[in-house]
Amino acid sequence: MKVLIVHAHPEPQSFTAALRDQGVTTLQGLGHQVQVSDLYAMQWNPVASAADFSTRENPEYLVYALEQRMGVKKQSIAADIQGELDKVLWADLLILNFPIFWFSMPAMLKGWVDRVLVSGVCYGGKRFYDQGGLAGKRALVTVTLGGREHMFGEGAIHGPLEDMLRPILRGTLAYVGYEVLAPFVAWHVPYISDEARRDFLLAYEQRLQGLVDEQPLVFAQLAQFDEALYPLS
């Protein structure tokens, strides 16, 4: 299996980075090929703009998704985007590895999504969910956060973590066709003991060892809807 880990944390010594390293060690130990995109170390540019295209289909008005389609076809898309897109297309499994910032992913990672999951390749028209451009691939979200587990769930102060991650799990990964696995969550990590952190690393190792046998989360399939995307009765 070919694995791409996209890592987004500003501190190289963070526990999120330790999870990344555990992922690399475990997956390579299982015989898988692994590439890592460390966005902060790469000084990744998260800003989607007209500068992402050396030539434009419409130089007067920027429709970013349409320019992405033509940019890939004409090889006029920015080199940093093409390099990451090549990794995405190479990988059978994508792991997004990040801390929760404000109930979401860091801006650095959001900018990677905006710029790399390009229209015309990863999605477009009715090429989404099970018909998305990345169908047949799998994705795993690995997150760290400061909150305690009891703060998340039905009736909890923050609500279910799944609701918080919905724009990522469904609106991003499932939308472009990935089979999305249940997220791995390391709770309360800035405040727990080293022993508790080691327990999370061990749990992550065990999770990755059994990943190939996991069933993905269930999302919409286009066969459940008519041509106008109304649900079939």
3-state secondary structure the chain: CEEEEEECCCCCCCHHHHHHHHHHHHHHHCCCEEEEEEHHHHCCCCCCCHHHECCCCCCCCCCHHHHHHHHHHHCCECHHHHHHHHHHHHCCEEEEEEECECCECCHHHHHHHHHHCCECCCEECCECHHHCCCCCCEEEEEEECCCCHHHCCCCCCCCCHHHHHHHHHHHHHHCCCCEECCCEEECCHHHCCHHHHHHHHHHHHHHHHCHHHCCCCCCCCHHHECCCCCECC
In this prediction, residue 200 carries a pLDDT of: 97
Would you say residue 233 has pLDDT above 80? Answer: no
What confidence tens digit (pLDDT) does each residue in 38-74 have?
Answer: 999 999 999 999 999 999 999 999 999 999 999 999 9
What confidence tens digit (pLDDT) does each residue in 105-135 have?
Answer: 999 999 999 999 999 999 998 899 999 999 9
Average pLDDT of 150-176? 95
3-state secondary structure 200-225: HHHHHHHHHHCHHHCCCCCCCCHHHE
Task: Map out the domains of the chain with their CATH numbers.
Answer: 2-224 (3.40.50.360)
Would you say residue 20 has pLDDT above 90? Answer: yes
Distance CA 114, CA 46 (A): 8
Q: Which residues contact 215 (CB under 8 A, 6 or more apart)?
A: none
pTM of the shown model: 0.95
Average pLDDT of 139-162? 94
What rounded mean pLDDT belongs to the chain?
96
In this prediction, residue 19 carries a pLDDT of: 98
Distance CA 54, CA 36 (A): 27
In this prediction, residue 34 carries a pLDDT of: 98
